[in-house]
Amino acid sequence: MKTWVFPSNPNHYNLKEAFKKLKEIDWRLRGNIKVEIGDTVYLYESRKKREDTENSELEDRIVLEARVIKDYVLKEEYINDREFWRNKKEFNFDDFNRWVRLKLVDDIFSDEINNKLLYKKLTDNGLISKMQGLIRLDNNPKLKEYIKNILNSED
Please name the amino acid found at residue 34: K
* pLDDT in the model for residue 52: 47
* Helix, strand or coil, per DSSP, at residue 66: strand
Q: Which CATH number fits domain 3-152: 1.10.3470, 3.10.590, 3.40.50, 2.40.50?
A: 3.10.590
* pLDDT in the model for residue 53: 46
d(CA 32, CA 41): 17
* pLDDT in the model for residue 86: 82
Query: Where exactly are the structural domains of the chain?
Result: 3-152
| pTM, rounded to two decimals | 0.87
CA atoms 112, 118, 124, 128: torsion sign? positive
Report the alpha-carbon angle 141-105-24, nearest 5. Answer: 120
Mean pLDDT per 10-residue segment, the chain (155 residues)? 93 92 92 92 78 53 96 90 80 75 93 91 90 88 95 74
* Helix, strand or coil, per DSSP, at residue 100: strand
* pLDDT in the model for residue 89: 67
Assess contact for 108 and 65: CB atoms under 8 A.
no
